[in-house]
Chains A and B, each alone.
Chain A
């Protein structure tokens, strides 16, 4: 039994626990009985057709979306309407978006320093030092004084990753981080994410990059119609999918 399956079994102390989570957008039942247990340091890729609820799942983890039934416990704190708990969890959970969502009115450096300064109350000099360290790590320290609008898409996404890391999160969520990028820039972002995975970060990644899933993921989750259809370790998932729906999906995205 490999490491991934192990963490799935002794799930009671996972860093993220979703228990029978249900969510509706108005009348539309978007998440149906989602059960997920993520161990610390685990890397999970979630895939599925558009509208399957895969983004909604990870957006529930930092309460960008509210679930209506079931329980979500992140790092020992349960997500309820209590604002204190929500902010506590958001401090520990970083997120990267499809459209980067950098703050266009601030320089790259200010984007990185903002949350540490105002949320963690880190002194400016220290925040800048940390920010420069992460910019080095995503290999664009020379862009620190530019505005996001002056950077390429790939550079912006790497800045966004660095911005999340500046809060030293325990968990990183990625919501289709390469979907809005030109093909030439996808690799630089994936390389950054692979490097991050090597540091032992807990990662939940919604993506269609199957190569990334194969190299990095401990588990791949396939969703459709708001349900988890199949969970497996990547080799099994790609070589030997158990479910018809998974086979169809894989044949479609791997066809070309």
Chain B
């Protein structure tokens, strides 16, 4: 005789393991030792947090505009306020700074929607960011056309220079890196050898020596009187260096794609470039988003090294400002400000990459 099968009912999990109390009990106060650590670490954290807030906010000085305004124990934000213009624009002429502001505003307007899933015109704005934006910004910052006064790159500095270096580095290094990664896996020996040589050469030298060679040694090899813009040399150096790193990150992703994907694309009649563009790269790049963003963040922070060739981005600007005799004991404030600026941008990139990973998750990670 057969009996009809009745599925057992689904029960809720035990109450002691859910909710805030359940969580605290199992994670913070599960044992006697754990409770002691919880209490001690809480006290230590509160103490240091209080110290930092007291220094940075409660006892800090913000009014006034010279050293005499800073007499308390707290941070002297007057210094940062006074030199703020220099930290953002470098030596860019005051009367022309609106051009930099327009660049900042355009940047924010194009990037902001990318953080939201359903932002209107998101894709179009993204393409503008990659195509029209650099052209418009270049003309705007450099001038010499459309009635804009020419501003030499010697005068560029501060956050604006940081963003220019990072933008060009990021936007150029990714496609070059992808091509190098594909080249390194190519079946054609000449292409493979060239790509391997390029990657190993640039990856084998420190960025600081790349920049140094670009600024000091390159002019020695160029014909007398050739004036090769310093900023351009730095941009090329950074791009070459970072594309070598990017190539290895992307190659990691390419290697993780099963052979069956290549075969299925080939069996459908897709040629090499279409297979790569439509089938392999979308999957490979998605896998290595953390690595790509890691490289972007490293690149963003590495732009500080252009100090070595006499370009003053945010950190360089801070460093030159704190040795100004008009201000004493403002190193902590200056570096804190620089660190904060870098952190904002790097954290933004990190958040964006996480949003992207969530969006691209198609539930096949098994």
| A contacts, CB < 8 Å to B | 62, 64, 83, 87, 90-91, 93-95, 97, 99, 101-105, 114-115, 118-119, 147-150, 163-164, 167
> How distant is A254 from chain B, measured CB to nearest CB, in Å?
30
Tell me the complex Cα distance, A62–B267, Å.
Answer: 7
Let me know if B270 is at the binding interface, CB within 8 A: yes
Known: A101-B260, A103-B264, A105-B286. Is A147-B271 also a contact (CB below 8 A)?
no
- Known contacts A101-B264, A147-B363, A149-B363; 7 further A-B pairs (Cβ under 8 A): A64-B266, A95-B264, A103-B264, A103-B283, A114-B278, A119-B270, A164-B267
Query: Within 8 Å CB of B283, what residues of A?
Result: 103-105
Let me know if B196 is at the binding interface, CB within 8 A: no
B338-366: CB near A (< 8 Å → 1, else 0) gives 00000000000000000000001011111
Query: Within 8 Å CB of B366, what residues of A?
Result: 149
| B contacts, CB < 8 Å to A | 258, 260-261, 263-271, 274, 278-279, 282-283, 286, 360, 362-366
> How distant is A98 from chain B, measured CB to nearest CB, in Å?
9
Tell me the complex Cα distance, A50–B36, Å.
Answer: 62
Cβ-defined contact, B282 with A105, below 8 A: yes
Q: Identify A118's interface contact among B258, B263, B278, CB under 8 A.
A: B278
Q: How many A-B residue pairs have CB under 8 A?
A: 71
Known: A101-B263, A101-B264, A114-B278. Is A90-B269 also a contact (CB below 8 A)?
yes
Query: Within 8 Å CB of A163, what residues of B?
Result: 268
Query: Within 8 Å CB of B263, what residues of A?
Result: 64, 97, 101
Cβ-defined contact, A115 with B270, below 8 A: yes
Tell me the complex Cα distance, A147–B274, Å.
Answer: 21
Tell me the complex Cα distance, A87–B272, Å.
Answer: 10
Cβ-defined contact, B364 with A87, below 8 A: no
Most chain B beta carbons < 10 A, residue from A83, A102, A104, A148:
A104
Known: A101-B261, A101-B263, A103-B261. Is A150-B278 also a contact (CB below 8 A)?
no
Query: Within 8 Å CB of B274, what residues of A?
Result: 118-119
Known: A101-B260, A103-B261, A118-B278. Is A148-B268 also a contact (CB below 8 A)?
no
The 8 closest A-B pairs by CB, nearest first: A149-B364, A101-B264, A104-B364, A101-B260, A115-B268, A95-B267, A147-B362, A90-B269
From A149, which residue of chain B is reached at the shortest CB distance?
B364
Query: Within 8 Å CB of A62, what residues of B?
Result: 266-267
Known: A97-B260, A105-B283. Is A164-B268 also a contact (CB below 8 A)?
yes
From B362, which residue of chain A is reached at the shortest CB distance?
A147
Cβ-defined contact, B266 with A90, below 8 A: yes
Tell me the complex Cα distance, A166–B365, Å.
Answer: 27
Query: Can you identify 19 A-B contacts, CB atoms within 8 angstroms?
Result: A64-B266, A90-B266, A90-B268, A94-B267, A95-B264, A97-B260, A97-B263, A97-B264, A99-B260, A101-B258, A101-B261, A105-B282, A115-B269, A119-B270, A147-B362, A147-B363, A147-B364, A163-B268, A164-B268
Query: Within 8 Å CB of B282, what residues of A?
Result: 105
Query: Within 8 Å CB of B362, what residues of A?
Result: 104-105, 147, 149
> How distant is A89 from chain B, measured CB to nearest CB, in Å?
9
Cβ-defined contact, A91 with B364, below 8 A: no
Cβ-defined contact, B269 with A150, below 8 A: no
Tell me the complex Cα distance, A150–B365, Å.
Answer: 11
Cβ-defined contact, B264 with A119, below 8 A: no
Tell me the complex Cα distance, A17–B53, Å.
Answer: 82
Tell me the complex Cα distance, A150–B366, Å.
Answer: 11
Tell me the complex Cα distance, A204–B267, Å.
Answer: 15
Query: Within 8 Å CB of B260, what residues of A?
Result: 97, 99, 101
From A103, which residue of chain B is reached at the shortest CB distance?
B279
